[in-house]
């Protein structure tokens, strides 16, 4: 499980870490960097794993490549190239998931299914990165069967890449409201915010839906 700590204070991360959680996700680069710095005083860097899961602009790639362990939201080669070039030499390659736009929402982040194989081949060849798998955020649906059907399409794309020779081990899908369907469809990582930390302030209402139960 990836505990999504966006909008929550460093103290909440420390509490979750004390309970045994070691992997945390942040959407907003600036907020994530500040939280990583705030916690660095208290926790050794290797005790905690930080995942960038939000949209990434070119001008933020350097700080992300420096401070995060994973980026799950890569959907363009240009961003991947910058992350690879900017990953500091002393660190292990940055772990990457490609974000798949599985249901084709026009203004959604993520690579289109038809463009996924070429992007995966190109990203896998970059020396500063290690391609680990796919991440997806399908359209929310109240229906378990509909949720699972979309997650199965992500799983199919993942298995296709493996069949093409990519050594992937991470299928990141499912959030607080649909994680059961994602697990049923083969998720290896669920990204859970509200079901761990409780309600977020309205700041994030657009991303997650203000009325969903925590
Ligand atoms: C906010 C967020 C989550 C967690 O959502 P919850 O509904 O709080 O569980 C997971 N993944 C991404 C990409 C997010 O932005």
Q: Is 136 in the pocket of ligand 1 (CB under 6 A)?
A: no
Q: What is the DSSP letter of 192?
A: E
Q: Is 4 in the pocket of ligand 1 (CB under 6 A)?
A: yes
Q: What is the DSSP letter of 204?
A: G
Cα separation, 146 vs 200, in Å, equals: 26
The three-point CA angle 56-51-141 to 5° equals 80
**For residue 89, how far is its CA from the centre of ligand 1 (angstroms)?**
31
Q: Are 130 and 160 in contact (CB under 8 A)?
A: no
Contacts of residue 209, defined as CB under 8 A and 6 or more positions apart, other chains included, come to 140, 177
Q: Is 196 in the pocket of ligand 1 (CB under 6 A)?
A: no
Q: Which atom of ligand 1 has the smallest separation from the CA of 179?
A: 9
Contacts of residue 69, defined as CB under 8 A and 6 or more positions apart, other chains included, come to 49, 50, 51, 94, 95
Total-model pTM: 0.93
Q: Is 155 in the pocket of ligand 1 (CB under 6 A)?
A: no
* pLDDT number for residue 105: 72
* pLDDT number for residue 208: 44
Query: Please, what are the domains in the chain?
Result: 2-205 (3.20.20.10)
Q: Is 29 in the pocket of ligand 1 (CB under 6 A)?
A: no
**For residue 8, how far is its CA from the centre of ligand 1 (angstroms)?**
12
What is the chain's percent helix, strand, coil content, to nearest 5?
A: 45, 20, 40
Nearest CA to ligand 1 atom 11: 191
Residue-by-residue pLDDT tens, the chain, 214 positions = 999 999 999 999 999 999 999 999 999 999 999 999 999 877 788 889 999 999 999 999 999 999 999 999 999 999 999 999 999 999 999 999 999 999 987 668 999 999 999 999 999 999 999 999 999 999 989 999 999 999 999 999 999 999 999 999 999 999 999 999 999 999 999 999 999 999 987 654 444 443 433 3
Q: Which atom of ligand 1 has the smallest separation from the CA of 135?
A: 13
* pLDDT number for residue 202: 61
Q: Is 193 in the pocket of ligand 1 (CB under 6 A)?
A: yes
Q: Which atom of ligand 1 has the smallest separation from the CA of 2?
A: 10
Q: Identify the CA nearest to 110 among candidates 134, 84, 87.
A: 134
Cα separation, 58 vs 37, in Å, equals: 21
């Amino acid at each position: 499980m990836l505990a999504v700590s966006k909008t929550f204070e460093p103290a909440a991360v420390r509490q979750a870490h004390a309970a045994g959680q070691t992997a945390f996700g942040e959407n907003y680069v600036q907020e994530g960097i500040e939280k990583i710095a705030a916690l660095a005083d208290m926790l050794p860097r290797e005790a905690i794993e930080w995942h960038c899961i939000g949209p990434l602009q070119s001008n933020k790639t350097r700080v992300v490549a420096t401070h995060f362990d994973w980026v799950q939201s890569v959907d363009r080669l240009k961003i991947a190239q910058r992350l690879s070039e900017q990953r500091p030499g002393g660190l292990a390659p940055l772990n990457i998931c490609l974000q798949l736009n599985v249901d084709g929402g026009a203004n959604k982040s993520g690579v289109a299914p038809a463009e996924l194989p070429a992007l995966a081949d190109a990203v896998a060849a970059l020396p500063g990165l290690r391609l680990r798998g796919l991440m997806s955020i399908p359209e929310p649906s109240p229906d378990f069967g509909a949720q699972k059907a979309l997650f199965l399409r992500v799983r199919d794309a993942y298995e296709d890449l493996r069949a093409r020779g990519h050594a992937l081990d991470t299928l990141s899908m499912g959030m607080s409201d649909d994680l059961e369907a994602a697990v049923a469809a083969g998720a290896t990582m669920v990204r859970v915010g509200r079901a761990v930390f409780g309600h977020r302030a309205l700041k994030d209402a657009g991303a997650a839906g203000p009325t969903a139960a925590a």
